[in-house]
Amino acid sequence: MGEFSIFHWLIVLAVVLIFFGGRRIPEVMKGLGEGIRSFKDGMAGGAAPTAMAPAPVSAPVGVTAKPGKGQVALSWNASGGAISYNVKRSGTSGGPYALIVSTGSTSYTDDGLASGTYYYVISSVGPNGESLNSVEVTGTPA
């Protein structure tokens, strides 16, 4: 019962020829061969490893905030590979922070401030993107 006779194989061949035509069989076999070869290469580890994307620059460290009359002077240490720095401010601790300036310098004075407490973070921007935010610092204008 589980065996095919020659008659059954001829019927299967006839059905395949009807559906695919005589010209499509070599194409199907070629695709099958390429698929098997690709599978073997993948199992053997023949595929080339993919390159990792370069990491963005690190967040600035050493951020300080010095209060002044109606202003807060911010400064930080340079991050290697940074092209510019985004200075962000919030009225509440933890954010959300709004971008107030993008600068190439490692200092910025936020002036024209009303009395109150302001919260700042700095991020570095390099060729591969923006870093995480720095540690939050607090500034209260005098």
| Model confidence pLDDT, tens digit, residues 10-56 | 888 788 777 777 677 677 677 778 888 888 888 887 555 566 666 67
Q: Which residue segments constitute the domains of the chain, with CATH numbers given? A: 1-50 (no CATH), 64-139 (2.60.40.10)
∠ CA 99-84-123, rounded to 5°: 50
In eight-state DSSP terms, residue 36 is H
Distance from C-alpha of 10 to C-alpha of 4, rounded to nearest angstrom:
10
Q: In terms of Cα–Cα distance, which of 120, 121, 131 is closest to 82?
A: 131
pTM summary value: 0.62
Higher pLDDT, residue 69 or 13: 69
Identify the weakest region by mean pLDDT among 50-54, 65-69, 127-131.
50-54
For residue 49, the model assigns a pLDDT of 58
